[in-house]
Amino acid sequence: MSSQTVGFVGLGIMGEPMANNVLDAGYDVVVHNRSEGPVDRLADAGATPAASPAGVARESDVVITVLPDTPVVESVVLGEGEHEGADKPVIDGVDEGSTVIDMSTISPVATERIAEELETAGAAFLDAPISGGEEGAVEATLSIMVGGGESTFAAAEELFEAMGKTVTHCGPTGAGQVTKAANQIIVGSTLQAVSEALLFAKRAGADLDAVLDAVSDGAAGCWALDARAPRVIEGNFDPGFFAAYQYKDLRIATRAGEEYGAPMPATSVVHEQYKAMETMGNGQDDHSAVIKVLETMAGEEARVEE
């Protein structure tokens, strides 16, 4: 049983199972979320509800945020904009010795500013974006990419191990977000490549199950083939990671590429494919549903026969 109290703000598709795993690891957990369902379920499991992000911070040694995008993190953590009552931000509740860990995927530039604001208020900060989708969050097998001070990371490493299988200190503040952007460049581009390959094989009259069996153990073998392609050819696009979030992450990556002067020709194309998904109304599908853009263009679906 850990003596630390850990707070969670953001209990969505990733945050709720992560909080459950921290509870199971023996930590006291305090939770807040805009919708009450996840709070009620975690309270039934032993967590303590809080009325606001600031309330979570006041009751916790470590506050973890798992939120959709940069503006939401800035709002919930720093309180930018108009906030009263239940919306009081995390920064209003921290004190000397607090640690805030943002496990969202947001802009590296915004991350550095958030860290500075929190450190001025007396709190340490880590950026620790995650990869592994809903499955990884449920099974505590996430890959966690951490930026921040070495001593702050060392103090939080055991907590990270309650949520993830691979925990890597990537460097100073912002390095976790840079690493996550690199991860999403690879994931998005790979899903696009798998989509093109599957539709090509379908149009050529090949057996899609046989194609997957043949290529998965060779040089093309990857997570997208193992974890997503079998679902794609069955037409299963239940979200493990929303396509809208993949689009958001690729926006972060391409904008950071502009700032750092890094050429991204392939990423730019994949970014446009996920933008098309959003325009087509498929943002709440799994990110593997990017194949639907190609299928619309081709007038045919890459599916196995039932």
Instruction: Tell me the catalytic residues.
Output: 180
Helices (H), 12-124: 15-24, 36-45, 53-59, 70-73, 108-120
Whether residue 290 contacts residue 243, with contact meaning beta carbons closer than 8 Å, is answered with yes
Whether residue 115 contacts residue 142, with contact meaning beta carbons closer than 8 Å, is answered with no
173: helix, strand or coil: coil
Place of tokens 């010795």: 97
Report how far residue 185's alpha carbon sits from residue 175's, in angstroms, rounded to the nearest whole number: 15
Report how far residue 71's alpha carbon sits from residue 67's, in angstroms, rounded to the nearest whole number: 10
Q: DSSP letter at 141?
A: -
Report how far residue 142's alpha carbon sits from residue 129's, in angstroms, rounded to the nearest whole number: 10
In order of 111, 168, 301, the CA distances from 142 in angstroms are: 21, 11, 31
The dihedral formed by the CA atoms of 98, 253, 298 and 199, expressed in degrees to the nearest 10: -70
Whether residue 7 contacts residue 57, with contact meaning beta carbons closer than 8 Å, is answered with yes
